[in-house]
Structure 1
């Protein structure tokens, strides 16, 4: 018998999630009688992680966001699981771009992805039709977004073609994704040092596009300094054509504003890349080989579902009223993902055809993670977004140069 400690147990306040997790532990232990799961609440907290590891309190299997693995690998705070991966069912089918997040510069594997998202464009299908646009063929380039936004704004009655965030760090978050889509970076690493990288052609194109949509086309509305709740409300009221968001925004809008899933479509972000993220699990570097093998068995069974287990998940989720059919997470490539898509389509309670533009093109768009010290950088980039969207005479060159100096100071503290 091997006992393996894992975190990720939902708190008691999340009644349904906790119940499902405990059911899964019981089912897993029944089908794997030689493994016992010691499930604990909480996730990986960077503030306490090092102390827990040093004090022997860190779980054998611990949850991480996509922004965590690079540093953990560099500091030797995660176990090398390369030699165990070959025994993990479906591991070879994991999307290579996601597995790369958990792969070190040495080519060794230190964890497994279990969830992912990437930003695309959520759009109002009814407004597309009303504006003479084909809702089944949404924009695939930023120029097409600009054209569509102008047509939707021309409908009048307070309708806005495209909206974006610019405060509470959300403006910097979206500006990062814009710059990625234009082929640029927000920060790059030279050896062990990081430098700001957005004072570039991509940064210029991004701010010029936003400025022209706001001031030349008047397709972004006059009300600015928006954040996610404002934009979701606009979309829920039927007064917004498009905005940058992940698939999870759609159920939020439907639930909060009593809309129908049929109202909304989703397409991949224009350009070459998008901001994305996700989560996964890594392994305590002090864990024994037996615990690592047991932990991998649990992670694969619980999170990297086989098509058969996915059917169990989908059926249960539908009974709990959870939306089925949204295009993410998508952890696998090829035939395995195709089988899972087929199963989810059987249980779907959302219009999967509305998300086909996202699925068809998103694999061609590189997903890039957040820069280091992301929230501090986003605070600085908020100011850039705010200036472009509220000042007709905004000096783009100066905005990029000034912000770049500030971000360099933030990046100088990265360890």
Structure 2
């Protein structure tokens, strides 16, 4: 008996953020049940995973692979801590059907270091019962800012403690996810030149901020929005007294499970005069630079399984949008049809590219949320202009100092 040609099974370590706890263990279990190779999964608290991985990578104890919030892929790519996946990625026959936003965030200096893994998208949700009570067509979502405002005004007129619109006014991450698509759909940008040029001070950004400011001044938004740092990002709409709110595709499953009697619709986030956009979120899968070539074959097998129809179905059934557009409809078949809207939104969505995402956007005292909170709740238009000028200067300074 000869062992020539025998390929030894490999086991590799995989970290994932706790936000992935609904789908990642199920995907890993399904892979381990049918593959000679095995995955050892460790779920890490979401707010700790970036720092923990950075420390592990610097100390030589990083996991073989990591499912990472795609916005952080550029930072680890730039730091030289990831393995080049370009050859493998482009060898896949469905490479051009993988989420372009994920691949864009995963590409650094022309090479792919992060591949699409799980998907999320920002959308607009509206309360159909409140629309009916307000005399609006419950099956006709707003398709531009004027329609959002008109619908919000009609719902707010229903009486005390009922509001037309809601957003988390003191949450940087929430607003990059749900406010920025208003700007993108209107032709504006946040960053250009590979993240080296900040483009906050634009007519589109100013118009979008004044759109929100106008709804605040007209009391179409509850007062609690100003101090909400994200805790009510989803919960406010679920309270059944909000007409319209931007949200994520994750809200579909959460609303269906926790609030089965809430009659709501899902639509695209529109631009000022039409058009649509979305923030394409979710995770990229990355491989640590020090991972051995032996482990790579097992990791590649796992990625291929995740991309298979079986893998995409497991993800879809457990809260993640498919990241392969060519089989998205099949993966979502039999599920709530509102997921199809979210999947299309993600396929056409964007993700800001910058290795400085935390400093620029996510920081609780950073220039992005400082600008928005000051401007959204300002009493006059001049304050909006000042807030934008300050943010443009501070954000560009952060970028320049890092280069």
- TM normalised by structure 2 equals 0.80
Distance in 2, Cα, partners of 1:211 & 1:9: 38
Tell me by how many angstroms 1:165 deviates: 1.7
Query: Which of these residues, 30, 40, 51, is aligned with residue 24 of structure 1?
Result: 30
User: 1:148, 1:161 within 8 Å by CA — same for their partners in 2?
Assistant: yes
What residue is the counterpart of 1:220 in the other structure?
221
Q: How much has 1:299 moved relative to structure 2?
A: 2.4
Measure the CA separation in 2 of the matches of 1:69 and 1:9.
Answer: 14
Q: Map 1:177-326; keep pairs closer than 5 Å.
A: 177-189=181-193, 194-215=196-217, 217-227=218-228, 228-230=230-232, 232-253=234-255, 259-260=259-260, 263-271=263-271, 272-301=276-305, 303-304=306-307, 306-310=308-312
Q: Which runs of 5+ in 2 are unaligned?
A: 1-7
* Distance 1:15-1:38 versus aligned 2 partners, 3 A rule: closer
Inter-partner Cα distance in structure 1 for 2:304 and 2:390 = 47
Contact 1:2–1:290, Cα closer than 8 Å, also in 2: no
Indicate yes or no: 2:10 matched with 1:3.
yes
Report SS of the residue matched to 1:406: helix
Change (3 A) 1:87 1:233: closer
For 2:394, the equivalent position in structure 1 comes to 406
Instruction: Give the count of matched residue pairs.
Output: 382
Native 8 Å contact 1:275 1:368 kept in 2? yes
Q: Shift of residue 201 of structure 1? A: 0.8
Q: CA deviation at 1:166?
A: 1.5
How many angstroms apart in 1 are the aligned matches of 2:215 and 2:183? Answer: 16
Matched, 1:155 2:165: no
CA contact (8 A) 1:10 1:18 kept: no
Judge conservation of contact 1:88–1:297 (CA < 8 Å) in 2.
Answer: no
**Which of 334, 349, 360 is the matching residue for 1:366?**
349
Contact kept in structure 1, 2:83 and 2:287, CA below 8 Å = yes
**Unpaired runs of at least 5, structure 1:** none
CA contact (8 A) 1:224 1:390 kept: no
* SS of residue in 1 equivalent to 2:116: strand
- Whether 2:149 is the aligned partner of 1:146: answer yes
* Structure 2 residue 332 is matched with structure 1 residue 341: yes
1:92-122 CA-to-partner distances (Å, cap 9, x unmatched) read 532333333323342x433321112121112
CA contact (8 A) 1:4 1:60 kept: no
CA contact (8 A) 1:125 1:135 kept: yes
What is the TM-score when the length of structure 1 is the normalising length?
A: 0.78
